[in-house]
């Protein structure tokens, strides 16, 4: 990482990569409105941390005013991809996507961060990935210390890319998809859905997956978890490694297309966004893949959205859950697929449940998917604000719809000596169905 | 700047508060004004007045230019480091030091975000009225230095009407206090007013004593659509003549109406020549009466359609069109110049007509919206700065536009400031005698010309 790479070098490597960016970047009028909403800028306080600065840096590289240096790379990586800048921008500049293009340029030029490189190489090999994470589940207790009563664990040894005091969740001893047959039958199914589990639910938060299956079964829906499914690719895509993201996307598209499901559900905003927005984007210039991708995109739903908008669940079957609950909207739910009403409707349907809205529920929790791997201290600072907002609601439970948000919230609650539960929305609904049976 | 200067700066503020990498410097080469950018040599972020003083002393002794910067949202190239040197980033001085309820005064550091100050005092039933469009991002120091205004300017005025006192650091590093908490204060030259709006050319502001006012208890918004621009102008005059000072009295011209309608579909007729948005605020009983009188004035002056908001939701609906004005225009083309040429309020229709004919003459897209009640117009030029031929036409149109404002007895800036953007017309507005007086003040307070050199009064 010593020599400086110029715009000329990049353009020689890949002319198409940066040239069409110029128009998009020119649309930024540098008004600075993004500063109001950027969680990273709020902590760092430097222009290079906010969208306006990042887009300027990209312009600078394209003009040849500054080199595509390691510092450029570092600036691009300091973004949680929360899309708040894009939502705020008066000129409609898709800053979040442009920053990804900046990362892409950096990846092309100087390769990935060494830790991410290792993880992504593993990701691309489905069998090895599956094997490693199963092993992690089996041997995990050796390296992680479980925190009593929670889906939470502390590392016993220093781990690559992991802060030693960070609380994560233990890997499951048996992944979700190994706990069930591929097709989970119900009597007289009303529809057949494919469940895209995503990695966090399959290997870590199997409790969420179980709840999804229970809830779908309660509604007479046949659930299939295609055994060949693989990571949606969002973490890879967000890091600028588009080639790897395409490999993963193509694999998933072909796998799910082969089943001809009525619907595809996922219990994660980012996974849903991948199927609905990222995949069509990745293959927009490939006619054959594009048709298949668009078809799948139309049938893909996030679980709360699916239950409210498509299934229209029978709320009379729900039993009481006595809890005070507040909700964190993951960025990819709020600004990615724009699903915020349905999870609230799920919660408000539950008898006995007292729902309290926190201040700015859609402000990023600082997890940013794999962002927190490389920027733990910064992600903690962003998270502390979220934890303070949770504390001020006096809720005993915080729910969300994303695995990495849940993990980061759990860590934040632990670091701030709080004992609230952090759960997925669907787990609370599952409890309510169970309570309904005991009525 | 030499290496030992950078080291000396690091000694003053700490290593991590001096940025010198090409990437960081590039990020401070611009502000929100198109067409002006230059790299500084260092970005220095002091923590307090004492550090600011030391930085200025060092800069003054070594003739290093200093450009004070807050959030960099200004629209006049006011904080672009055109001659290299130090960008003095004031965002770390971000504490509200005191809210004095007995005197209705706040004391705050310059890095406080204006909206944060308002959030802090809202529960006390108070407001700090200057509310520029970037209020959620802009710093108090920056708005005071630029004498920023906002939508409520007609009734509440601009920044200078609220600044009661300042702590500033002069070019040589001396720390100076002006004004204070006295409502009446006629002791000596009004240095507070001089520094407010001095755009970083006379001093660096390190503390602001500002007046707070009671928050209005009630608000009522109305919108009127006019097929004829003159009728809109007459309506504005009639409202004022009826001795009503609305908090907000906004106008949009036909170009803006069409753009807004195309973008936001708020239901504006495309052939309307003007839309007025009026909001009265204050005591609920008075607000009702004033709203009635405004409605009468609108109808008497042949408004083609008048709407009044019954509740907050309807108020938001009426405001939607005005709020969409800038985004809608900005989305048309890559480059957006938001100008703020201002004319006496009875000349608003004349000015709008002038701008529209200048736009046609030079084949340039200009939408004008702004504060009709105080004559502060925002002719917004959208173009593409990468096309030199188009920019030639844009600059010509801009030139004629500012000359037109001056000819109508207007001013170059109602709230954005002069910076570099409007420097070329300063002498036309003020004349040589005034410019020389301003330059004498600049030279007296900053003999080495280190503070924001070349801006506001030009080269000295």
In chain B, the residue whose alpha carbon lies closest to the alpha carbon of A27 is B334
Predicted pLDDT of residue A6: 59
Total H helices, total E strands in chain B: 14, 18
Predicted pLDDT of residue A147: 64
Residue B118 near chain A (CB below 8 Å): no
pLDDT, one tens digit per residue, over A181-216 is 999 999 999 999 999 999 899 999 999 999 999 999
Q: Six-digit token pair at A243?
A: 């080639």
| Mean model confidence pLDDT for chain A | 88
pLDDT, one tens digit per residue, over A43-60 is 999 999 999 999 999 999
Place of tokens 């199963």: A134
List where CATH 1.20.1050 sits in chain A: 176-309
Q: Is A119 a residue whose pLDDT tops 70?
A: no
List where CATH 3.40.50 sits in chain A: 318-437
pLDDT, one tens digit per residue, over B350-373 is 999 999 999 999 999 999 999 999
A-B C-beta contacts closer than 8 Å: 81
Q: Which of A224-233, A257-266, B16-25 has the lowest mean pLDDT?
A: A224-233
Which pTM value belongs to this model?
Answer: 0.90
Please give the C-alpha separations between residue B405 and each of A386, B176, B376, in angstroms, as whole numbers: 49, 37, 10
In chain A, the residue whose alpha carbon lies closest to the alpha carbon of B385 is A26
Q: ipTM higher than 0.90? A: yes
The stretch A302-315 carries a mean pLDDT of 96
Q: Which fold has domain A7-110?
A: Fumarate Reductase Iron-sulfur Protein; Chain B, domain 2 (1.10.1060)
Per CB-CB distance under 8 Å, the chain A contacts of B334 are: 23, 26-27
DSSP sequence for A114-153: HHHHHHHHHHH-HHHHHHHHHHHHHHHHHHEEEPTTSS-E
Strand order in the sheet with B335-338: B305-308, B218-226, B274-282, B248-253, B365-371, B376-383, B335-338
**Domain A318-437 belongs in CATH node 3.40.50:** yes
Predicted pLDDT of residue A44: 95
Contact A26 B385 (CB under 8 A): yes
Residue B311 near chain A (CB below 8 Å): no
**Domain A176-309 belongs in CATH node 1.20.1050:** yes
Per CB-CB distance under 8 Å, the chain A contacts of B115 are: 36
Q: Is A145 a residue whose pLDDT tops 50?
A: yes
Q: Is A2 a residue whose pLDDT tops 50?
A: no
Residue B28 near chain A (CB below 8 Å): yes
Contact A23 B137 (CB under 8 A): no
Ranked by mean pLDDT, the top range of A212-216, A233-237, A376-380 is: A212-216
Predicted pLDDT of residue A155: 58
Q: How confident is the model at residue A125 (pLDDT cuts 50, 70, 90)?
A: confident
Please report, rounded to a whole number, the percentage of residues in chain B having pLDDT higher than 90: 96
Contacts of B161 (CB under 8 A, 6+ apart): B211
Nearest to B134 among A31, A45, A48 (CB): A31
- In 3D space, the residue among B235, B230, B238, B224 whose CA is nearest the CA of residue B351 turns out to be B230
pLDDT, one tens digit per residue, over B238-251 is 999 999 999 999 99
Q: How confident is the model at residue A1 (pLDDT cuts 50, 70, 90)?
A: very low
| Residue of B69 and A145 predicted with greater confidence | B69
CA distance B68 to B204: 7
pLDDT, one tens digit per residue, over B206-262 is 999 999 999 999 999 999 999 999 999 999 999 999 999 999 999 999 999 999 999
The stretch B181-196 carries a mean pLDDT of 97
Q: How confident is the model at residue A373 (pLDDT cuts 50, 70, 90)?
A: confident
Q: Mind telling me how many Å the CA of B280 is from chain A's nearest CA?
A: 27
- In 3D space, the residue among A324, A326, A318, A335 whose CA is nearest the CA of residue A272 turns out to be A335
With both helix axes pointing from N to C terminus, report the angle between A425-437 and A206-218 in degrees, rounded to the nearest 10.
Answer: 50
Contact A67 B28 (CB under 8 A): no
Nearest to A56 among B26, B34, B331 (CB): B26
Residues shown for chain A? 439
Residue B386 near chain A (CB below 8 Å): yes
pLDDT, one tens digit per residue, over B280-315 is 999 999 999 999 999 999 999 999 999 999 999 999
Q: Is A14 a residue whose pLDDT tops 60?
A: no
Contacts of B50 (CB under 8 A, 6+ apart): none
The structural domains of chain B, ordered by start, are: 3-89 (3.30.43.10), 96-214 (3.30.465.10), 218-407 (3.40.462.10)
Please report, rounded to a whole number, the percentage of residues in chain A having pLDDT higher than 70: 85
Q: How confident is the model at residue B181 (pLDDT cuts 50, 70, 90)?
A: very high
List where CATH 1.10.1060 sits in chain A: 7-110
Q: Is A131 a residue whose pLDDT tops 90?
A: no
pLDDT, one tens digit per residue, over A165-188 is 777 777 888 999 999 999 999 999
Residues shown for chain B? 460
Per CB-CB distance under 8 Å, the chain A contacts of B136 are: 33, 36
Contact predicate A335/A360, CB 8 Å: no
Predicted pLDDT of residue B135: 92
């Amino acid at each position: 990482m010593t020599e400086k790479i110029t715009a000329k070098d990049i353009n020689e490597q890949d002319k198409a990569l940066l040239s069409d960016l110029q128009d998009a970047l020119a649309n930024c009028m540098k008004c600075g409105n993004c500063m109001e909403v950027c969680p990273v800028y709020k902590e760092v306080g430097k222009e290079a941390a906010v969208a306006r600065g990042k887009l300027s840096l990209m312009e600078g590289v394209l003009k040849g005013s500054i080199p595509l240096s390691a510092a450029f790379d570092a600036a691009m990586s300091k973004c949680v991809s929360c899309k708040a800048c894009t939502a705020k921008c008066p000129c409609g500049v898709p800053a979040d996507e442009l920053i990804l293009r900046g990362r892409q340029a950096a990846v092309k030029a100087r390769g990935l961060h060494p830790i991410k490189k290792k993880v992504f190489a593993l990701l691309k090999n489905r069998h090895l990935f599956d094997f490693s994470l199963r092993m992690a589940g089996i041997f995990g207790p050796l390296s992680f210390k479980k925190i009593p009563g929670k889906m939470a664990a502390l590392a016993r040894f220093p781990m690559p890319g992991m802060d030693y005091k960070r609380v994560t969740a233990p890997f499951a001893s048996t992944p979700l998809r190994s706990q069930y047959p591929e097709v989970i039958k119900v009597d007289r199914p009303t529809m057949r859905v494919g469940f895209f589990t995503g990695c966090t639910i399959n290997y870590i938060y199997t409790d969420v997956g179980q709840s999804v299956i229970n809830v779908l079964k309660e509604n007479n829906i046949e659930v299939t978890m295609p055994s060949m499914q693989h990571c949606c690719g969002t973490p890879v895509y967000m890091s600028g490694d588009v080639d790897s993201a395409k490999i993963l996307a193509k694999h998933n598209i072909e796998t799910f297309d082969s089943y001809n499901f009525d619907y595809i559900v996922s219990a994660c905003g980012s996974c849903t966004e991948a199927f609905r927005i990222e995949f069509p984007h990745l293959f927009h210039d490939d006619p054959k893949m594009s048709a298949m991708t668009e078809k799948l995109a139309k049938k893909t739903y996030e679980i709360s959205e699916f239950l409210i908008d498509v299934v229209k669940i029978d709320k009379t079957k729900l039993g009481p859950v006595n809890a005070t609950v507040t909700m964190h909207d993951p960025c990819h739910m709020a600004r990615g697929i724009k699903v915020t009403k349905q999870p609230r409707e799920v919660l408000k349907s539950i008898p006995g449940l007292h729902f309290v809205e926190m201040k700015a529920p859609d402000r990023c929790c600082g997890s940013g998917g794999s962002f927190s791997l490389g920027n733990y201290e910064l992600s903690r600072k962003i998270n502390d604000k979220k934890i303070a907002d949770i504390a001020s609601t006096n809720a005993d439970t915080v729910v969300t719809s994303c695995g990495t948000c849940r993990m980061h919230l759990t860590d934040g609650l632990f670091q701030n000596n709080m004992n609230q539960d952090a759960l997925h929305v669907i787990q609370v609904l599952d409890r309510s169905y169970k309570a309904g049976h005991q009525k | 700047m030499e290496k030992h200067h950078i080291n000396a700066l690091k000694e003053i503020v700490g290593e991590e508060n001096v940025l010198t990498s090409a990437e960081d410097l590039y990020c401070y080469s611009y502000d929100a004004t198109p067409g002006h950018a230059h790299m500084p040599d260092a970005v220095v972020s002091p923590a307090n007045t004492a550090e600011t003083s030391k930085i200025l002393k060092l800069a003054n002794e070594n003739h290093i230019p200093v450009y004070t910067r807050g959030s960099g949202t200004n629209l006049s190239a006011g904080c672009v480091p055109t001659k290299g040197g130090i960008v003095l980033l004031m965002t770390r001085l971000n504490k509200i030091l005191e809210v004095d309820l007995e005197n209705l005064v706040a004391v705050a550091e310059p890095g406080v975000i204006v909206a944060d100050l308002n959030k802090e005092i809202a529960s006390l039933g108070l407001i700090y009225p200057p509310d520029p469009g970037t209020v959620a991002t802009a710093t108090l120091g920056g708005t005071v230095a630029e004498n920023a205004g906002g939508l409520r300017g007609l009734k509440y005025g601009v920044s200078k009407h609220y600044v009661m006192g300042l702590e500033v650091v002069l070019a040589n590093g001396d720390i100076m206090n002006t004004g204070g908490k006295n409502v009446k204060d006629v002791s000596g030259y009004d240095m507070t007013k001089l520094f407010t709006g001095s755009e970083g050319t006379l001093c660096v502001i390190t503390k602001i004593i500002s007046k707070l006012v009671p928050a209005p208890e009630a608000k009522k918004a109305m919108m009127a659509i006019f097929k004829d621009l003159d009728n809109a102008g007459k309506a504005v005059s009639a409202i004022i003549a009826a001795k009503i000072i609305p908090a907000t009295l906004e106008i949009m011209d036909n170009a803006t109406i069409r753009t807004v309608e195309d973008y936001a579909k708020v239901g504006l007729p495309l052939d309307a020549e003007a839309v007025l948005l009026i909001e009265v605020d204050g005591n609920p009983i008075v607000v009702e009466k004033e709203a009635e009188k405004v409605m009468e004035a609108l109808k008497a002056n042949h408004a083609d359609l008048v709407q009044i908001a019954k509740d907050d939701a309807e108020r938001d609906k009426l405001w939607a069109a005005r709020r969409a004005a800038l985004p809608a225009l900005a989305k048309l083309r890559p480059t957006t110049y938001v100008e703020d040429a201002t004319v006496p309020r009875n000349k608003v229709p004349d000015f709008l007509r002038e701008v529209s004919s200048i736009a046609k003459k030079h084949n340039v897209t200009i939408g004008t919206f702004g504060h009709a009640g105080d004559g502060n117009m925002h002719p917004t030029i959208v173009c593409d700065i990468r096309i030199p031929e188009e920019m030639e036409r844009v600059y010509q149109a801009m030139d004629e536009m500012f000359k037109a404002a001056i000819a109508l007895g207007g001013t170059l800036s109602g709230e954005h400031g002069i910076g570099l953007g409007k420097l070329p017309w300063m002498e036309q507005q003020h004349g040589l005698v005034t410019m020389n007086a301003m330059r004498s003040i600049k030279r007296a307070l900053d003999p080495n010309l280190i503070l924001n050199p070349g801006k506001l009064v030009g080269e000295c």
